[in-house]
Amino acid sequence: MSFILRRLVFYLVAAWVALTVNFFIPRAMPGNAVQSIMSKFPNLQPAAYRALEAMLGVGHPGSIWHQYGSYLVDVFHFNFGTDVSQYPASVSTLLGETIPWTLTLVGSATVIAFLLGTVLGIVAGWRHGGSLDRVLPGLMFLQAIPYFFFALILLELLASKFHVFPLGQGYAQGLIPGWHWDFISSAIYHSLLPALTIVLTSVAGWMLQMRNVMITTIGEDYVIAAQAKGLPNRRVVFTYAARNALLPQLQGFGLALGFVVSGALVMEIVFSYPGIGLLLLNAVTSNDYPLMQAIFLVITFAVLLANLVVDMIIVFADPRARAGEAAS
Amino acid sequence: MTAVLPISAEPAALARQDVTPGRWRRMPTKAKAGAILLGLFVLAAIIGPLVTPYDPSFQNPAPDLSLHAPYGAHLLGTTQSGQDVLSQLLVGIRLTLELALLVGVVATALSVIVGVTSAFLGGVWDEVLSLITNVFLVIPALPLLIVLLGYLQTKGQTATILVLSVLGWPWGARVVRAQTLAIRNRDFISAARESGEKTWRIIAYEIVPNEVSLIAASFVNTVLYAIGASVALAFIGVTNLNDWSLGTMLYWAESQQALQLGAWWWFVPPGLAVAFIGAGLVLLNTGIDELGNPRLRDAASASRIAGRWLRPADPTPVLADISQRRGRLAGFLHSFSRGSLLDDTEGGQAR
């Protein structure tokens, strides 16, 4: 079995764990979820009790294994039930409306931050002790700021005070979403500040990690040999040192993805950006448990998928991995 | 293929890097700066609530005290309902630090238990525990935290501490496991085993003391995670909103439109406090890193390690082989990890 197939199996196991945890949380929690929803919405009729039970999957007939089976089938068909707060709408419709926003913003901003941080890290590692090292403490400070607080500050400065960027939302009011230039340009304009927040807060982490791996790699014999051969510096840095330093960096990227996505979700709330983060906030404030659980599953699956892509890039970039692929 | 090489002289001399307060002057500048920064906040957390000028929840009914900018009587201004921001901040720092430190202790203890058990038992147990660790590493924590805390009826401190600890151990466990694997086959461990020491005694008195600096770094990381996660959770509103923590301060500032009203003194102090605590922790951790990995230090000075003169830029001398034997089932489980990439290669064969 090749490496990628094995990783795929691993991610399937992880997805199954997430699904199972998600299934058992409402059942294992102390107290009655249905009862707590009933008490939070006093205007609900007693007849709604049954409906809520069915929606949360608590009152399903049959044994727990039977419930588990039908739950897995439901998830497989993207059937996450109906929504509590926006009643007739199904959860999957709500998710379908918000996912594209988050995917474009968080996805592209994270990739940009990763690439930028890696390049800066290469330079900082190569010129160890140079001017880039001197801004490191500042970068660490930037890294320690919570995403959403940095977003608040940027909003205050760039949108409230100087009106360079709009005050949140995904597009200008009055525009109808669609594939026409007015809407697209407005959406891009509105996404600039959130994207800037993600890039500025996460670039430091990638840069620090790449710098440290670079410093270690530059000490290796083959790098010294390449320099002794008289190869131009650019070739030594990028082909010899950076290419090898990139692999731990890529593995770290896969592992840190969950953190970055979580931070970005909270940041969306500050910008009232119409993505999954804002949907999650609405779910929390209205105690919309089915929606919360569905969002958890969707985010987990997205992160697992992204990790699989990272693994593919690792195989592509690492000759050792390719040798392993060919051997088995 | 997996013959364990004999171990060269005195590997413990490399591993042992004392971080006792007595060596203060030898600590890297970054670690010192971080420790001082953190110390200030811990001090504020201890004496702050005793010297708060007002009750943080007291809503001053005077109309001119709603959203008043900082001045003599209210050094950090007031909120919309006339509450004193400085008092809230001092109480909030204590609550947030308390929570983060408790989570740090519990989660680090969990990660040490899992990591050491995993590495020490080896074989199938190791692979199963590693699998669980890797699965929980890859599942994003924040959405799961929100779902878990959303269902809990009591969203107080205790619930948050519990849930954050339960989800906070995998990073540490991974690092501790790797280090335990590295020292598990050293002579002093074998000596202890030969002299008939019980397993738990070997773990508690031989292995864990040799990993103190690593566990300290993992603790600092966990505290950082706990602060970030708890503040984010409170900001979303998944906590007891009657408590005053840095997160709930930000929550109230955001929900009562402090930004739109231009009341910067309301949301900047708690945010800056979080940022400074975080920066202190990051600095401390980088300092610990530099202590353990001399190559990251700036100084080009050479030092004598295990009889060889080494400059900071030289590759780390290999003193022990940490590869391990695997049974059939364990080998099968291991082949699903990213680390298995190194097995089929020439470097792996050479072992």
A153/B271 touch (CB, cutoff 8 Å), yes or no: yes
pLDDT tens figures, A118-159 = 998 888 888 877 777 777 777 777 777 888 888 888 888 887
Q: Is the pLDDT of residue A5 over 90?
A: no
Rounded to the nearest angstrom, the gap between the alpha carbon of residue A78 and the centroid of all alpha carbons in its chain is 20
Distance CA B206, CA B116 (A): 12
Distances (CA, A) of A33 to A63, A91, B62, B157: 19, 18, 42, 21
Interface touch B146/A36, C-beta < 8 Å: no
Q: How far is B341 from chain A (nearest CA, A)?
A: 6
Instruction: State the Cα–Cα distance between residues B134 and A14, nearest whole angstrom.
Output: 9
Six token digits for residue B293: 């990995």
Cβ–Cβ contact B142 with A under 8 A = yes
CB neighbourhood size of B329 (10 A): 12
Compute CA A261 distance to the chain's CA centroid, rounded to the nearest angstrom. 2
Size of interface A-B (CB pairs under 8 A): 197
In contact, A193 and A271? CB cutoff 8 Å: yes
Question: For position A236, what pLDDT does the model report?
Answer: 86
Provide the β-strand partners of residue B251: none
Asked if A300's CB is within 8 angstroms of B236's CB, the reply is: no
- Residue B314 in contact with partner chain A when CB distance is under 8 A: yes
Q: Are B135 and A21 in contact (CB under 8 A)?
A: no
Instruction: Return the pLDDT at A37.
Output: 65
Question: Closest residue of B to A154, CA-based?
Answer: B259
Nearest-Cα distance to chain A for B237, in Å, is: 7
Q: Which residue has the higher pLDDT, A322 or B188?
A: B188
For tokens 């209205």, name the residue.
A286
Of the partner residues A25, A133, A328, the one whose CB lies closest to the CB of residue B151: A25
Give the burial class of A96: count Cβ atoms within 10 A of its Cβ; 0-12 exposed, 13-18 middle, 19 or more buried: exposed
- Which chain B residues have a beta carbon less than 8 Å from that of A287? 150
Task: Say if the Cβ atoms of A220 and B315 lie within 8 Å.
Answer: yes
CB pair distance less than 8 Å for B143 and A30: no
**Once rounded to an integer, what is the mean pLDDT over residues B272-276?**
89
Give the pLDDT confidence score for residue B19 in this predicted structure: 47
Q: What is the mean pLDDT of residues B224-244?
A: 85
B256 contacts: CB under 8 Å, gap ≥ 6: B79, B80
What is the tens place of the pLDDT at every residue in A43-74? 666 666 666 666 665 555 566 777 777 777 77
Asked whether the beta carbons of residue B341 and residue A320 sit closer than 8 angstroms, the reply is yes
Q: Measured between CB atoms, does B152 come within 8 Å of chain A?
A: yes
Q: Which of A160, A258, A262 sits opposite B259 (nearest CB)?
A: A160
pLDDT band (50, 70, 90) for residue A31: low
Q: Where are the beta strands (DSSP E) in B50-176?
A: none
Q: Out of A269-278, B9-18, B312-321, which region has the weakest mean confidence (pLDDT)?
A: B9-18
Joined together, the tokens standing for residue A142 give: 């930037």
- Residues 205-224 in B contacting A (C-alpha not used; CB under 8 Å): 224
What is the C-alpha separation between B220 and A273, in angstroms, rounded? 33
Query: Taking residues B214-221, what's their average pLDDT?
Result: 86
Please give the C-alpha separations between residue B315 and each of A149, A169, B107, B294, in angstroms, as whole numbers.
41, 51, 33, 11
Could you report the predicted ipTM of this complex, rounded to two decimals?
A: 0.81
**Residue A127: helix, strand or coil by DSSP?**
coil
**Among the partner residues A129, A137, A304, nearest to B138 by beta-carbon distance:** A304
Q: How far apart are CA A131 and CA A125, in angstroms?
A: 11
The B residues from 230 to 249 touching A (CB cutoff 8 Å) are 231-232, 235-238
Percent of chain B having pLDDT more than 70?
Answer: 75
Q: Please give, rounded to a whole number of angstroms, the shortest distance from the CA of B197 to a CA of chain A.
A: 38
Would an 8 Å CB–CB cutoff place B292 in contact with chain A? no
Residue of B nearest to A212 (CA): B296
Q: Tokens 């993600």 — which residue?
A: A198
Please tell me the predicted confidence (pLDDT) of residue A115. 92
Q: In sequence order, which ranges of A3-47 are alpha helices (DSSP H)?
A: 3-28, 33-40
Residue A237 is classified by DSSP as: I
Do A292 and B131 count as a contact with CB atoms less than 8 A apart? no
* Burial class of residue A281, CB neighbours in 10 A (0-12, 13-18, 19+): buried
Q: pLDDT-based confidence at B14, cuts 50/70/90? A: very low
Output the pLDDT for position A47.
66
* Nearest residue in chain B measured CA to CA from A318: B341
> What band does B211 get if pLDDT is binned at 50, 70 and 90?
confident
Q: State the nearest Cα–Cα gap between A179 and chain B, in angstroms.
A: 32
pLDDT of residue A39: 66
pTM of the model: 0.78
State pLDDT tens for residues A183-224.
777 778 888 888 888 888 888 888 888 888 888 888 788 888
Range A91-95, long-range pairs (CB < 8 A, 24+ positions):
A91/A290, A91/A291, A91/A294, A92/A294, A94/A279, A94/A291, A95/A276, A95/A279, A95/A294, A95/A295, A95/A298
Q: Which of residues 117-136 of B touch A (CB under 8 A)?
A: 131, 134-136
Interchain CB distance below 8 Å, B259 and A304: no
- Please answer yes or no on whether A323 and B143 come within 8 Å at the CB atom: no
Residue B250 has pLDDT above 90, yes or no: no
A234-290, pLDDT tens digit by residue? 888 888 888 888 888 888 888 788 878 888 888 888 888 888 888 888 888 777 777
Separation of alpha carbons A203 and B152, rounded Å? 35
CB contacts, 8 Å: B293 with chain A: 212, 216
Judged against a pLDDT cut of 70, whether residue A81 lies above it is answered with no
Give the pLDDT of residue A91. Answer: 74
Q: Mean pLDDT over residues B94-104, rounded?
A: 91
Q: Which amino acid does the sequence have at A314?
A: I
What pLDDT band is residue B100 in, cutting at 50, 70 and 90? very high
Contact flag B143-A219 (C-beta cutoff 8 Å)? no
Instruction: Note whether A296 contacts B344, CB cutoff 8 Å.
Output: no
Average pLDDT of chain B, as a whole number:
76
* Separation CA B314–CA A125 (nearest Å): 15
What percent of chain A lies above the pLDDT cut of 70? Answer: 80
Q: How many CA atoms lie within 13 A of A10 on its CB side?
A: 32
Which residue of chain B comes nearest to A211, CA vs CA?
B296
Which tens digit of pLDDT belongs to each residue from B280-311? 888 888 777 777 666 666 544 445 444 444 55
Between CA A117 and CA A256 the distance in angstroms is 14
Give A293's contacts in chain B (Cβ within 8 Å): 147
Q: Taking residues A305-313, what's their average pLDDT? A: 87
CA of A185 to nearest chain B CA: how many angstroms apart? 25
Under an 8 A CB cutoff, do B141 and A265 touch? no
